Every structure is written in structure tokens, then in C-alpha cells.
Chain A
Amino acid sequence: MPTALETLSLTEARASVASARVSAVALAEQHYERIAAVDPSIHSYLALTRERAFAQAAKVDAAAKAGDPLGPLAGVPVAVKDVLTVRGVPSTAGSLILKGYHPPYDATAVAKLEAAGAVLLGKLNCDEFAMGSSNENSAYGPVHNPRALDRVPGGSSGGSAAAVAAGLCVASLGTDTGGSIRQPAAFCGVVGVLPTYGRVSRYGLIAFASSLDRVGPFARSVADAATMLEVLAGPDPMDSTASALPVANYAAESAKPVSGLRIGVPDEYFGEGLNPEVRAAIERSLDGLRAAGCTLHKVSLPHTRYAVPVYYVIATAEASSNLSRFDGVRFGLRSPESDTLAAMFRNTRDEGFGAEVKRRILLGTYVLSAGYYDAYYRKAQQVRALLTRDFLSAFAQVDAIVCPVTPTPAFKLGEKTDDPIQMYLEDIYSVAASLAGICGLSVPCGTTKAGLPIGVQVLGKHFDESTVFRVGAAIESTHAAV
């Protein structure tokens, strides 16, 4: 390969395979070699799917040789977060309670990647049931940030961001419920996409909070992420929440000029607590957009400060319901030696769930319990409506919003594990978009003096991924030009 794996683009990878300059089999092998060499210090992979990868790669190579039409991801090595099911492959969701579980079906997102020719290398580490902002809640050990090994990669899709950043796959899938794609993308210096709620099927996603969960891609450039989303998006007979709205040619859209676009800058996202180096980097991105012909406008999202409390009511309530299915009866762990069914449920859940998952199940059960439903759950749903209205009014004036992803760059492992509130406030700039269902992405926009990546967030209207990719690509090119 002329290009190092850490910088190999999806387009390049596919072109090399299509022209038979490199075989898909060789490309997969190079990635496995790099995983063996590098991943022991990062711990992004929980399982490797060699057999499946080489079978798929051989199929792609045969098609290339025969001159058959190739899919948009032909031969591209990818990996997916361990909350997505892959038939016959361990799928743990980062939890002990699913240890040894081999799902009997593929998630639609995984099936779509493979139908487009992608080569699945394995399953990626994450916070248990996608609950966390640092990947320290994985029952199988934390992921280390490839840009600074003593720091967290972010969460919950920490493995998905780290693997792309470290050249251990060309692109990956993560999931975002309150920031779990955008925040790790920012911490690891890669692109992460939050598609509109309903844009990508969730069949085969082990559910955390069903009114919020989304599947989205990580890649090393906006154009690559756009290509991934184009493959992933669209309706699915197995998921009634997947929208039938037309899917655009996102990669082509991302290349369109941004001149004339109106960019909103929300005051509420630039308040106290925003790290000065992060602020400076976002301001440089805004200057770049202005230079490219965008106009900048102040917008107000007045309910922003309520987003974290709303999120932790709604997400935990839904989680307490979703996670009641883990009971030791049908799959995964069962605690041995329980003499009644009730004791078996309890012992299994006690042994199988980690502390953060228990904390969220308890909180969710509490806010839904008799006498508290109106005060917490209904109240949170009402404020969710206000937060969404904030965005809809802003988008009446602007085409996209640009703001920070996180208040700080990647923090150190262990720094926030003792204080759940501190960890939850990590999501302060990401959860509002999750609650409103709008789309967005995180794109690298520089590094701190210490060399830590900084990400900038672009938010767009429901189903307007095209504009988000355009703005993201413009930021990427101004940053690359510096």
C-alpha cells in the first residue's frame, strides 16, 4: 500500500480494490496485522470476525476480477459497535449479562454495509449498553484514546472512534443516544455522524432508549462519512421507525459550495465552562465559514440548560423498560443455583449489570413509579417539546447551527468516574440535538497545544443531512488549509 492505514480514505481503499492494485483479502490482512500490533494498547476490538471478513473479501476480489459491478464499499474494511447484532458473532453490548450470546440474525445496518461490499473486521468496545461518556463502563475494560493513551476516547462509542483514529478499520458504526457518536469523534479526531431520528434502521440494535437511539457512521473524512450514510439510510420492513423519505447522494452534496448558507451560532453553547482552546478552535471554524461565503447569525436556544436533566429522565425511563428483557431466561448469562424464578432474575441482573447500568435502571424505575410519573417523566417530555421548538425556530432563520461538541478535550481515565453528575454534564452540548431528533455531525477542527483533538459540531434540520455534510466539508477544508 502506498498509503499508511491510518490515513487511508474509503474512496482510496475502494479504488485500490476495484482496480486490483490491492486485493480486498490483502487489505483485510494488513488491517488484522495492525490490530494485532496496535490494539493491545488501545483495546478497541472485543471480537474479530476473520472468517467472515476473508470470505467477503474473496467474494469482492472475484467480482473485481470478473469485471462485475462493485458496491460503493467494495473491499472497505469496517467494524461495528458491539451493540449491533452480527449473526453467530459474540454481541455483548459491553455487558457481562450478554457474555456468550451469539445472535441468530444480522442488524440491518450491518447487512447493508456488507451488501455494499464492506468487509467486516470485528466488533468494537463500548460503554455497557451504550451508557457512558468515557468508555470506562465497558465490562471488558476501557478503551484508550489513540491520540493520548492516558486519556479516554469518549463514549459510549469509544471503540468505534478509536479504531478509525488508529487505522484499525477505514470506517465504523456507532450509536448515539445523547452524544455517543459526536463526543468520541471529537475526542479522537475523526468524523462522526448523528443521522436524523428515523434515517437509519435500528433493527438489530440492542436498545437503550428507543425514542433517542440512532445508528451512525465514523470515518476519517466528511466525504467518507457521507458515503457510509448513503449506504445505511432508508426504510426497513423490520423497523417501523425507519423513514421512507428519499436518501440523497450525500457524498456529492458534501462537495457543494457553502457560499450563501446562513450559519447560526447559539450563545448558550459558548458560556462558562467552555475550555478556551476549544472556543478558539470553534471560532476559527466560524471564521473559515465566513471566508467561504457563509453569513453568521446569532440564534437563541433558550432551554439548552435543561437538556441534561430532561435527557436523564427520558433516557433512563426508557432504559429501565428496555433492559427488563435481560432476565437470564432466553439468552446470555444466567446466575446458577437460584432455587426460584424470582431469585434467578435478581441474581442474574445483579451479577450481569455494572454499576452505571444499575444506577440508570434505578433512576428510570423511580421516575416512572407510582406518584412520580407526572412530576418527572411527563414534565421531561414537556420540556423536550420546548427544546425541540427552540431548534425549529432557529432553523426558520438559519440553514445550520455550528457550536462545540464538548466543553473540553478528552479527559484522563479515572478523572470523572466517581461523580455521575460530572460525567453527565459532559453531554451538555450534545443531548439537546438528541432530544429534538435533528441531525448533526462532529468534525475535527484543530488540536490543543498539548496535541489533543478538538471537534466542532454542525447541526441541521430533520432529514437535512445534505446541508450538514456541506458545512462539515467546508470546515474540514479550511482546517486542512491551515
Chain B
Amino acid sequence: MSQAATNSAGVSLEEVRHVADLANLELTAEELPRMARDLNAILDHIAQLNELDTSDVVPMAQVSDAFGVAPAAFGEGLRADVVKPSVDRAAVMAEAPESDGRFFKVPKVIER
């Protein structure tokens, strides 16, 4: 369910841990309370957006939403569907921490 952006209740350590989990971030025991404190301070600052009634305002996701110009003016035209050489595979694979030249190698995916 949607909640109001007031932050009076505050984000708990447990919630910070959950969000870190969603973001694939490992937080140390020292980092966790500091991040919780900062997150709450920033969310308190953000809560002032609630002063504004925006019920009739269409959300702006992109700059081109802001005014009625043709999308092509903002570059949103499509390029011709023609096959062109891509970045060299060997050059890409050479940047991988671990690879056999054809595939990226990673630690095991499923624990048993």
C-alpha cells in the first residue's frame, strides 16, 4: 500500500538492512547505524514535498515530457535497422575478472 512520505516514524535498522539486501549491498556493523541516521535525515528533508498538492500534476519522467515538442527533436527517432559491426568480443572479454574467452566465469549460482 502507498504510504505518505512523512518520515516521523523513521526508518529502522531492520528496514535499512532490508533495503541494503534489495540493493545487493553488504553493510558492516559500523556502517549500518550511520546509514540509518543519514537516510532518516535525508527523508525528513524530502518530506517537505508533501506541502504541495500535486493531485492534478502529470509526472515528468523525461525532459521531453515537459513541453509539446516532437519527440524527434529530442533525438527519439529510431536509427535505420542495419547490421553494423559491434564492439570486438575479444576486447570485451579481456576486461572480465574471469573468463574463458567466450563466457564470463562466476562462482557457483546454486547452493546445495
Contact = CB atoms under 8 A, between A and B. Distances in A.
Contacts of B48: 305-306, 309
Contact of A241 (B31, B46, B75): B75
Contacts of A363: 39, 42-43
A340 B111 contact: yes
Contact of B106 (A235, A313, A344, A373): A344
B66 A241 contact: no
Contacts of A437: 63, 66
A376 B97 CA distance: 37
Contacts, number: 199
A345 B24 contact: yes
Interface string B20-31: 101111111001
A235 to B, nearest CB: 6
A16 interface: no
A424 B38 CA distance: 12
A342 B22 CA distance: 12
Contact of A341 (B57, B91, B109): B109
Contacts of B60: 381-382, 384-385, 388
A136 to B, nearest CB: 16
Interface in B1-55: 1-5, 11, 15-16, 19-20, 22-28, 31, 35, 38-39, 41-43, 45-50, 52, 54
A257 interface: no
A104 B88 contact: yes
Contacts of A340: 107-109, 111
B107 A369 contact: no
Given A104-B91, A385-B58, A244 B75 contact: yes
Contacts of B43: 363, 366
A365 B22 contact: yes
A117 interface: no
Contacts of A102: 95
A313 B23 CA distance: 16
B76 A379 contact: no
A346 B49 CA distance: 33
Interface residues of A, number: 81
Contacts of B2: 371-375
A265 interface: no
Given A334-B98, A362-B39, A313 B20 contact: no
A146 B26 CA distance: 37
B83 interface: no
B41 A379 contact: no
B96 A329 contact: yes
Interface stretch (A320-328, A450-458, A474-482): A320-328
B74 A241 contact: yes
Nearest to B91: A104
Q: Name the 5 nearest CB pairs between A and B, nearest first.
A: A437-B63, A381-B59, A334-B97, A104-B91, A382-B54
Interface of B: 1-5, 11, 15-16, 19-20, 22-28, 31, 35, 38-39, 41-43, 45-50, 52, 54, 57-67, 72-79, 87-88, 91-92, 94-98, 104, 106-109, 111
Interface of A: 101-105, 197-198, 211, 235, 237, 239-245, 303, 305-306, 308-310, 312-313, 320, 324, 327-334, 338-347, 349-350, 353, 355, 358-359, 361-363, 365-366, 369, 371-376, 378-386, 388-389, 392, 420-421, 424, 436-437, 462
Given A340-B111, A371-B2, 16 more contacts: A235-B75, A240-B79, A244-B73, A309-B48, A309-B49, A312-B46, A331-B97, A340-B107, A341-B106, A350-B28, A362-B19, A363-B43, A366-B15, A373-B2, A374-B2, A379-B54
